[in-house]
Copies of this chain bind each other. A is one copy, B any other.
Amino acid sequence: MQQDRSSEERMIDAALRAWRFNADRIDAFFSALSQNQLEQEIAPGRNRLIYLWGHIAAVNDGLFPLLGLGTKLYPEMEAMFIANPDRAAVTIYSAEQVKRAWSHINEELFAGLSGWSPMEWLERHTAVSVDDFLQEPHRNRYTVVLSRNTHMAYHFGQAILTKPREKKS
């Protein structure tokens, strides 16, 4: 990136870097685990890793319609990983299927995010009406992406608790 980029282009670059940082560390962490390891709970009685991974992927998948990028790639993940808690009476994806969905969603999503001009980034997201957006212009795509990025970090902080004890959490 060059210094002669505009301020808003540099801020978009910052948001995309922050996104990729989280997506990459989540990918590295979960992709290295076996199906058995993914059955671990993040804490006693809490979600299993495979549920958490699917949850992050499914929430990211929801960004396609929310940001006006298209429809969800894996709409069936909603029932498996968002609408129902872990171990509900619903069959969820295998590790292999979660991994494939996660990778596919993130590739397509990042490609979609990478194509917008600054003005397009600041357009309303689809869950806010035209009228409401006039009063609340912060309900835009850029804000949504920052927020979903912290959602990834929030759950990654939980997933990492299954790693052997380190000096710092």
Q: Which residues of B contact A143 (CB under 8 A)?
A: 14, 17-18
Contact call B15/A146, Cβ cutoff below 8 A: yes
Interface string of A152-169 (1 = CB under 8 A from B): 111111100100010111
* Residue total for A at the interface (Cβ-Cβ under 8 A): 55
Confirm or deny: A34 has a beta carbon within 8 angstroms of a beta carbon on chain B: no
CB distance from A103 to the nearest CB of B (A): 21
Q: Which chain A residues in 68-89 approach chain B with CB under 8 Å?
A: 82, 85-86
Contact call B157/A21, Cβ cutoff below 8 A: no
Cα distance A44–B6 when bound, in Å?
Answer: 49
Number of copies: 2
Interface string of A43-75 (1 = CB under 8 A from B): 111110000100100000000000000000000
Which among B13, B140, B149, B168 is the interface contact of A150 at CB below 8 angstroms? B149
Which among B10, B11, B118, B134 is the interface contact of A3 at CB below 8 angstroms? B134
A residues whose Cβ falls under 8 Å from a Cβ of B: 1-3, 5-8, 10-15, 17-18, 21-22, 42-47, 52, 55, 82, 85-86, 118-119, 121-122, 134, 137-138, 140, 142-143, 146-147, 149-158, 161, 165, 167-169
A-B complex: 5 closest residue pairs judged by Cβ atoms: A154-B157, A150-B153, A157-B157, A7-B8, A43-B43
